[in-house]
Structure 1
Amino acid sequence: MLRKLLSIYENSILFPNQPENPSEQLYIFCNDEENEWIGIPKTDISEKELTLLKTIYKLVEVQTSFYLSSKSGWSEFLFFDGPLPPYDSGTHFRFIQFQISSHDGNQFEIESALKGFFTEEVTIIWESSSRGIVIEEKKLISLSEDELISMSETFESDFYVKISFFIGKLHPFSHQLRSQLLREKEYFTFGITNLGNPNIFTFERVFPAYLANHLPEELKQKVNQEVIEIFHDDPEMFSTIKFFLENNLNASLTAKKLYIHRNTLQYRIDKFSEKTGIGLKDFYGAFTVFLACLLFEQNQDM
C-alpha cells in the first residue's frame, strides 16, 4: 500500500526497515500489516493530507539519535537560550548562513544536496522555509569561498533557485557563540537588503556598507560636500570609480569588465582626481572614495 504513495509524493523514500536516523524534514509512516516504512518530506504534505494519511497509516515518532540530539541542542542553545551542546571546550566552529530566493524549494532535497558538498558530516538548522545555517567544526571545514560560489551556481541550475551564503568567522566553542551568530545574522540580513543578492557575503564585504549606513548625518554631509556632488553630476564616473575600487585598483581587469579601453578608464580616473584632489593609488584616498561611493549608492536607493 505504501508503495502507491511513491507515485503521489515523488520525493518520498521507501525504507526496508524502520529508519534509525531519518531527517527531521520527513514524516515517517508505517504499514504494520506489510511491515513497510516510508518517509515523505514535510513540505510536500498539506495539513489535510497529513490528517488523511494519519487515519490510514501509523505516523511514527522516531527515537531521537545522538546526532539529532546534538542538532536539537544547537537550536536550543542558539535560539532559545539553552545550554551549550556537548562539545569539547577546545573546539572551534564556523557558521555558514544561507538564504534561498524561493519559499517553495524542497527542504529535504536542498538539505541533502548541501550535505553532499561537504566531505564530512555537518549540522544544518532551518530557521524558516528559505533560510538556514550550516555549522562546521574546525576540523571539518572543507569549502573555500570559490567552492561555495560553485555550489550556489549548481543550485541555480539544478533546483532553479538562487542561494546566497554568508561565510562566518571561525569562533572558539563558548557561550559567546550565540551573540557572535546574532551579529553575523545582522550583517547577512543587511547585505541581502542593501547590497543586492550576490552569491557570497562575508564580514569584509558587508561591513563597509554597514558602517556607511550607520554614520551620523553630520559626517555624511561632509563626505557629500567633498566627493558625492561630483557623482550626482556624472553617474558614469561613479560606476567607473566604484568598479575600479572593487577590482583592487586593477586597471586592466576593470577596463576588461567594463568593456572599455584602458586609456578611457585612465582618463576617467584622472578626471576624477583632478576634480576632487583625491588620488586613488594610496590606501587613504581609496578608502575615502569607496566610503563616498557607498553613501552615494545608499542615497540613490532611498
Structure 2
Amino acid sequence: MAWFKRESKGIITTTEEKKEAPDGIWNKCPNCKKPLHYSEQVENQYVCHYCGFHIRIGSKEYFSILFDNNQFTELFTDLTSGDPLHFTDTKKYTDRLTETKKKTGLKDAIRAGVGKMNGQDVVIACMDFNFIGGSMGSVVGEKIARSIDHSITNKIPFLMISKSGGARMMEAAFSLMQMAKTSAKLALLAQAKVPYISLLTDPTTGGVTASYAMLGDINIAEPGALIGFAGPRVIKETIKKDLPKGFQTAEFVQEHGFLDFIVDRREMKEKLASFLKMLAPVTEKEII
C-alpha cells in the first residue's frame, strides 16, 4: 500500500504516527476566528490581540490577574450545595452536582478570596460560569454574604465579579431568596462605609443582574459583555417589537445609564486599584 504511505527514511506520514498539539495549546477566538496560542492568551490576559474580544474566563484566571503575584487566602472553602427540594428533572440534582464538581474542580459557582491588589487589601468574590451556568444557588448567596461580613469586620473593600445565567432553578425559592439576602448585606456594607465595586462580565443575567450585580458604589463591565435580566427572545415576544442594535451589550447598558464605566481587562487591575484608592476613607492624619 505504498500509494498511501511514503516509505522514505525519516519521514513520518501515517496518521497514526503524527503527533498532534496537546488540547488547549491552540484555540480559536470566538469573535474573529483567528488562532490564538495559549501562552499569548495568558500574556494578553485572555483578550484577543487581533480584535480585542474578551474571552470568558473563571475565578482562577481573574484571581491571577487581580491579586498581587496571585497571592490570596481563599475564604469559606467548606460550603457545598444541598438538595433541599430533592429536585429531579432529566437527572437528580445531587448527581449533577457531583458530576460538575468532578468536571470543574469547583465546589460551586463562586469562589472568594482576600489578598492585595496593588498593595491594597481587598476581598474578591468571583463567579464561575462553568459550574451549572454560574447559576445563583444558596451557596453563592451564602459565600457573598460571608464575604461582605469579612469586609465589614476588617474594613476591607469588596469586589464582586458576576458571571451568571441567573437563579438556579433546582433550588427554586431558596435561590430567589439569595437576591434579598445579598442586597440586605450590601446595605450593611454601605452603612459601614466600606467600598463595594461590582464588575459585570459576560454574561450577567437574571436574578444576579436584578440584585447584587447592579448595587455597586461603582458598576463597571468588560467590553461587549452580555448584561440583562430576561433573554432578548423573551423580551421581543413580550413587547412585540424588534430590539435595537447592540441590545443588552455593556455598551448599550452604559449608554442608558446603568453602568459607570467599561474597562478593558488589560487595564482592569490598575483601574480597580485607582477606584479603591479614591473610595478609601480619609484619616485625620491625611487631612492635616
TM-score (norm 1): 0.23
Larger radius of gyration: 1
TM-score (norm 2): 0.23
Q: Which has the higher helix share?
A: 1
